[in-house]
Amino acid sequence: MTAVQIAALVAVALGGTAVVMAREPARQALVASVYGFALAILFLSFQAPDVALSQIVVGAVALPAMIVFALRKIIRREEVDRGEQ
Amino acid sequence: MSQRARMVVFGAGVLGFAAVLVWGLGGLPDFGDFAGRYGQYLAQHSLPERHATSSIAVTTFDFRGADTLVEEFILFTAAVGVVALLRVERASEEVPAEPEARRRPTARSGALRSLITAVVAPTLVLGINIVLHGHLTPGGGFQGGVILMTALFLVYLGGSHLAIGRVSPMAAMEASEGVGAAGFALIGLAGLVIAGAYLENFLPFGGRNHLVSGGDIPLLNIAVGLEVMGALLIVVAEFLDQRLLMREGKL
Amino acid sequence: MSFLPYAVAAWLFVIGLYGIVTSRNLVHLVVCLSVVQSSTYVLLLAVGYRTGGTAPIYADISPSKEVVDPIVATLTLTDVVVEATVVALLLALAVQAHRRFGTLDPNEMGALRG
């Protein structure tokens, strides 16, 4: 096992724990983006460039964006409800 | 069940599960000693038989094409599910889509808008490049489709919404998704009709490292790229209350 | 030390499961589910790795060189993109649940009434 693989594995384990421990969804979206990059580096060190490319475009860009969109929809509904009361 | 009792049950369950998992994983061959012969056979026969240099692409679309067909339809179904959930909600609710009078550019600062506008075209070209070269280098329909979605989404970020001439953008994206999903299945049917087996590679294979090589793998890459781009753009548009894909003047 | 990849995969699974069980927010729960999914990717790629092997792209290497397994890479790369759309579906369900119950806390949500 090369040093890059060991470092990437440790980073992924710590990143996963950080994603679970971040209780606020808005903060969790950013931590998930960093976790996605750590996973991509791990996949690159495992000699799988296709998977790393997939993980970068999805886990670091599309997934946090969707979390933020869902939060926006929820917050907007709460504003409308509070405005109507 | 109270929270404390639930945590006790979970703790006992997860400890037992982790013990069995670690014991099971310990029985695997050592890391790096994988001796599976099917994978090696596929890797060695992808270049001589299909003239495509990326054996991952050949495995995805040719040797294991049926798995990719099912995965692609999972993606299609999930996108349809999101549309069904959120569009029905909007039809019957009090929270309106943003009215036309209040529509203004998404990004407030001019510098940000200029930067985003400058980046849209290179991203589009990058996405098309990755889709078309999927059988030669790392990439393909899945990755390129997400990049294409990002390029079109950047148009919304830099401006105020996406307009495609006189065609309704929402209909264009839905058509793209449908053409991609159906295209994959129909190319498989063509393989059945022409070559005798579903998803059998029936086009000429071309030379090594050529852009047109690998039989129908480039066509399948294009179909998947269209489908992924359409599906993700529709999902994002539904979350943004369809502000992303509005025609001039009305939804 | 050669057990480290499998240990990391098992750890990600367990910590994701813990996050799901103790979650107070439906959106946080869905992201913890994606952590559980990523543990399967790590396990798949760790199983298919060969020491000294390189990526299975034959554009510039000779066909007799040792390569890592391409099948697990195929399974993982299609799964990564499909996961994003399934997470979007789950987030749409969370938005609907918030609309129905007015809260995002799984403990506060009552049973579905007719």
Q: How many CB pairs under 8 A join A and B?
A: 45
Paired with B164 in beta bridges are B167
Say how far apart CA B247 and CA B241 lie, in whole Å: 14
Q: Is B203 helix (H, G, I), strand (E, B) or coil?
A: coil
The domain tally of chain C equals: 1
Which residues from C are below 8 Å from A42, CB to CB?
42
Structure tokens at C37: 């999914």
Determine if the pTM surpasses 0.80.
Answer: yes
Here the CATH number for the domain that contains residue C77 is: 1.10.287
Give the residue on C whose Cα is nearest the Cα of A41.
Answer: C42
Q: Do the domain assignments include residue C113?
A: no
Q: Do the domain assignments include residue C9?
A: yes
Say how far apart CA B30 and CA C4 lie, in whole Å: 10
Say how far apart CA C24 and CA C107 lie, in whole Å: 7
Paired with B33 in beta bridges are C50
Q: Do the domain assignments include residue C46?
A: yes
Q: Tell me whether residues A57 and B146 touch, CB distance under 8 A.
A: yes
Which residues from B are below 8 Å from A57, CB to CB?
143, 146-147, 150
Q: Do the domain assignments include residue C62?
A: yes
Confidence bin at B246 (pLDDT 50/70/90): low
- pLDDT at res. B131: 93
Which residues from C are below 8 Å from A49, CB to CB?
55, 57
Give the residue on C whose Cα is nearest the Cα of B74.
Answer: C82
Q: Which of B25-34, C34-43, C84-93 has the lowest mean pLDDT?
A: B25-34
Q: Do the domain assignments include residue C11?
A: yes
Indicate which of A39, A57, A68, A74 best probes the interface with C, i.e. most C CBs within 10 Å of its own CB.
A74
Structure tokens at B172: 């264009």
Which of B53, B60, B68 lies nearest to residue C57, judging by beta carbons? B53
Phi-psi region of B196 (alpha: psi -120 to 50; beta: other; left: phi over 0): left
Confidence bin at B244 (pLDDT 50/70/90): low
B184: number of Cβ within 10 Å: 26
The residue ranking higher by pLDDT, B33 or A43, is A43
Query: What's the DSSP call for residue A62?
Result: I
Domain that holds residue A37: 3-84
Rounded to 5, what percent of chain B is helix, strand, coil? Answer: 65, 5, 30
Chain C contact for B66 (CB, 8 A cutoff): no
- pLDDT at res. B91: 63
**Cα of C85 to nearest chain B Cα, Å:** 6
pLDDT 10s digits, A69-80? 999 888 888 887
- pLDDT at res. B40: 84
Q: Is B31 helix (H, G, I), strand (E, B) or coil?
A: coil
Structure tokens at B30: 């050592």
Give the residue on A whose Cα is nearest the Cα of B136.
Answer: A50
Say how far apart CA A47 and CA C79 lie, in whole Å: 18
Averaged pLDDT for residues B210-224: 87
With 50 as the cut, is the pLDDT of residue B250 above it? no
The domain tally of chain A equals: 1
Beta carbons of A8 and A42 less than 8 angstroms apart: yes
DSSP string for residues in chain A? --HHHHHHHHHHHHHHHHHHH--SHHHHHHHHHHHHHHHHHHHHHTT-HHHHHHHHHIIIIIHHHHHHHHHHHHHHHHHHHHHH-
| Chain centroid offset of residue B88 CA | 24
Which of C7, C71, C99 lies nearest to residue B59, judging by beta carbons? C71
Q: Do the domain assignments include residue C108?
A: no
Domain that holds residue C60: 4-101
Give the residue on B whose Cα is nearest the Cα of C73.
Answer: B56
Q: Do the domain assignments include residue C65?
A: yes
Confidence bin at B224 (pLDDT 50/70/90): very high
